[in-house]
Structure 1
């Protein structure tokens, strides 16, 4: 967000400690701690409220997880006439099961003289 690395952060903290001074530094540190706790509580309450309100929608979020989609299966299903059964990760194909392959293209590729 602010694009500050570790070294710059340390320099900023040292400068802030020198400018604020040792008398006021504990009070400011306590205020910062209270602010961080309030922010953490606010985020927790917002997350809890969001979970409660979206629970009534009846959406199966596990089924919509994009990490479950296998691009190989999606492409295979798009190229074949009938979709293949979903394969489990790491499972070997059944013995004697033939994997249908698309027919090879014969002849030169089509030429489009209108293409750029």
Structure 2
């Protein structure tokens, strides 16, 4: 658990005894035991509440299958690639990026098409 070996836990316990001291050790040990009991009761209460809300389906759920430590991305990708059913091919709708005709007002279009209009595009200060 958390990469702690028995030797490391023993070393932490010895250091805690030295820091806390023998006179305060029973007090802190009892507080730690109360904390562990509180956590256990909290977990039990959450489990009972889930069982109550889900009903009989709670016992049918395979909780080990939902454990995130069981997920291996390589296995998931391999299974997805070796799947017998081909995935549906999604195609994007055709989108024109350029209009077929220039967006020029009809009054200027005839001069533009004839090549007569060669200045900057018209600008209407009232429209902006």
TM-score using structure 2 length = 0.44
More helix per residue: 1 or 2? 2
TM-score using structure 1 length = 0.48
> In terms of Rg, which structure is larger?
2
Bigger relative contact order (CA 8 A; separation at least 6): 1
